[in-house]
Amino acid sequence: MNEVAVSNAGSYAPEAVDRAMDGLMELLGLNATNPFGSFIKPGMKVFIKPNWVASRWRESAPHKDTLYCVITHPQVVEAVADRVATALGDSGEIIIGDNPSIDADWQELMQFTGIKRLEGKYRVPCRIADLRPLACVDLADYGKVGRMRRQAGDEAGTVEVNLGKESLLYGMDSSLLRGVFDERADTVAAHTGEKQLYTFSKSIYGADAYISVPKLKTHQKAGATLNLKGLVGCVSDKNQLAHWRIGSPENGGDEYPDAESCKASLMAKTTHRGAHPGNDTIWRMVVDLYNAMGRNANKKAFSVIDGICAGEGQGPFAPNHKEAHVLIASESLLAADLVAARLMGLNPRKIKYLEHFISRGEISLENIRVLSDFLPDGNFFGSSSRYLDFSVIEEWKCIKI
Q: DSSP string spanning 143-159?
A: T-GGGSEE----TT-EE
Closest CA to 242 of 275, 272, 281, 274: 281
**Rounded mean pLDDT, 282-295:** 96
Alpha-carbon distance of 178 to 274, in angstroms, equals 10
Using an 8 Å Cβ cutoff, are 232 and 197 in contact? no
pLDDT at 82: 98
Mean pLDDT confidence for 33-52: 98
* Rounded mean pLDDT, 226-239: 97
pLDDT of residue 121: 98
Q: What is the mean pLDDT of the chain?
A: 96
Confidence band for 59, pLDDT divided at 50, 70 and 90: confident
> pLDDT digit string (tens) for 359-395?
999 999 999 999 998 998 889 999 999 999 999 999 9
**Per-residue pLDDT, 63:** 76
pTM, 2 dp: 0.97
pLDDT at 156: 97
Please state, in angstroms and rounded to a whole number, the distance separating the CA atoms of residues 198 and 295. Answer: 12
| pLDDT of 41 higher than 90 | yes
* Mean pLDDT across 280-296: 96
Q: Which DSSP letter does residue 203 get?
A: H
- 268 pLDDT more than 90: no
Q: Which of 135, 59, 137 has the alpha carbon at shortest distance from 318? A: 59
The closest alpha carbon to 247, from 218, 278, 223, belongs to 278
Cα dihedral across residues 155, 157, 163, 167: positive or negative: positive
